[in-house]
């Protein structure tokens, strides 16, 4: 099986700055567990959905994956408040929907799984982020339902992981996972992979 992981710095995870083309985060950990699969990391730090569109043909469509994971959304909020790059949650939803529609058109047999954006209220986090984040999380869930994609509720999963870890141990700056945080994402993906049937493509 060929798996492409798309998104921002959480997926990228230093892949351009180490000798490891998969980076040193959840994508690398997933490959270590699923050595018989071809896993490709196409995350780029700082990306929002508009940046994904610019490279989608080359970095996703031409790869022709069997399974596509997408984790994107926190930069729409972060850059809005910290870098004066305004984007509404309605624009986020519309952009995401277009991305899914075009992917299904070009790759009708690909399975898509949407990963929910997440934060902890520490580090870079600002309280003004929360209404946007809650709306984004709702958007992602609704899009997964509408287009019959997979969905992994990472916010809930990280919240539940606080039983065994502190926020700092999982997301030291509130946004980017530590190694323990990346293990949480990897385990969620592995669990998802045990539940899906690759013999019946989603339409």
* Position 58 in a domain: yes
pLDDT for res 18: 77
Q: How many CB atoms lie within 10 A of CB 111?
A: 21
CATH code for the domain in which residue 42 is found? 3.40.50.1110
User: Per the structure, how many domains does the chain have?
Assistant: 1
- Is there a domain that residue 28 lies in? yes
Q: Is residue 10 part of a domain?
A: yes
Residue 147 lies in a domain: yes
pLDDT at 197: 61
Tell me whether residue 173 is in a domain: yes
pLDDT in tens, the chain (203 residues): 999 999 999 999 999 887 788 999 999 999 999 999 999 999 999 999 999 999 999 999 999 999 999 999 999 999 999 888 888 999 999 999 999 999 999 999 999 999 999 999 999 999 999 999 999 999 999 999 999 999 999 999 999 999 999 999 999 999 999 999 999 999 999 999 988 765 443 33
pLDDT for 19 equals 77
| Residues of the domain holding 78 | 2-195
Q: How far apart are CA 24 and CA 14, in angstroms?
A: 7
Alpha-carbon distance 134 to 60, whole Å?
27
Tell me if 203 is assigned to some domain: no
29 domain-assigned = yes
């Amino acid at each position: 099986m060929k798996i492409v992981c798309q998104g921002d710095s959480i997926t990228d995870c230093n892949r351009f700055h180490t000798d490891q083309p998969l980076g040193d985060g959840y994508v690398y950990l997933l490959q270590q567990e699923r050595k018989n699969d071809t896993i490709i990391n196409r995350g780029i730090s700082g990306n929002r959905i508009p940046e994904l569109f610019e490279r989608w043909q080359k970095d996703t469509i031409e790869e022709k994956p069997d399974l596509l994971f997408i984790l994107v959304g926190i930069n729409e909020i972060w850059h809005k408040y910290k870098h004066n790059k305004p984007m509404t949650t309605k624009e986020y939803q519309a952009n995401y929907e277009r991305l899914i529609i075009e992917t299904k058109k070009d790759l009708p047999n690909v399975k898509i799984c949407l990963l929910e954006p997440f934060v902890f209220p520490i580090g870079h986090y600002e309280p003004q982020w929360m209404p946007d984040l809650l709306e984004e999380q709702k958007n992602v869930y609704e899009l997964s339902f509408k287009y019959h994609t997979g969905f992994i509720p990472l916010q809930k999963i990280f919240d539940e992981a606080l039983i065994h870890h502190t926020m700092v141990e999982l997301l030291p700056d509130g946004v980017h996972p530590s190694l323990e945080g990346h293990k949480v994402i990897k385990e969620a993906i592995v669990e998802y992979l045990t539940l899906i049937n690759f013999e019946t493509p989603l339409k």
